[in-house]
Amino acid sequence: MATKTTKTKPESAKLEKATFAAGCFWGVEAEFRQIKGVKSTQVGYSGGEMPSPTYEDVCSDKTGHAESVEVTFDPEKVSYEKLLGVFWNNHDPTQVNRQGPDFGTQYRSAIFYHSEQQKKAAMASLQKLQKSEKYRNRKIATQIVPAQPFYRAEEYHQQYLEKRGLSTCHI
């Protein structure tokens, strides 16, 4: 008796990482988790001086870290450019060190690129957005900088909104 085998498309062998800071990481993470092709997310701290900071350290506004989301994605299913679109559309990149009621350097807007291709794509998307009518006379304050060590935040911050049955933040 012959058995029928079905061919399944193998998972992409090459997953990539993208790291974004756009204010409070709870809402940012929730947005990226909804994107098809995103394999996982984790919230944490990037861009600072102190190794292995805690939430309390970062909130002191003395470590230089930004609340960030590290996105692991399959580039065969979702492009980095699409992730950039989600990033730009879910915060106000003209705000300096704040988003809504949250303020401090930990709430700055930043793209931490992991490759030259990501850097070029981020720069191109920033230039395109700055030339668009969306922000008219306001300058985009988003930093585009090389990825630095990413320190995973405490477990209670991971998928914070999802664990509470919420879909969005207060912003």
Residue among 18, 24, 28, 69 flagged as catalytic: 24
- Mention every residue, 6+ apart, whose C-beta is less than 8 A from residue 17: 70, 71, 72, 73, 114, 147
Is 59 an active-site residue? no
Three-state SS at 152: strand
The rounded distance, in Å, linking the Cα atoms of 80 and 76 is: 10
The type of residue at 122 is A
The rounded distance, in Å, linking the Cα atoms of 119 and 153 is: 25
Quick check: 149 and 51 in contact, CB under 8 A? Answer: yes
Q: Locate 46 and state its tokens.
A: 């990037």
Residue 54 DSSP one-character state? -
Q: Which residues are catalytic?
A: 24
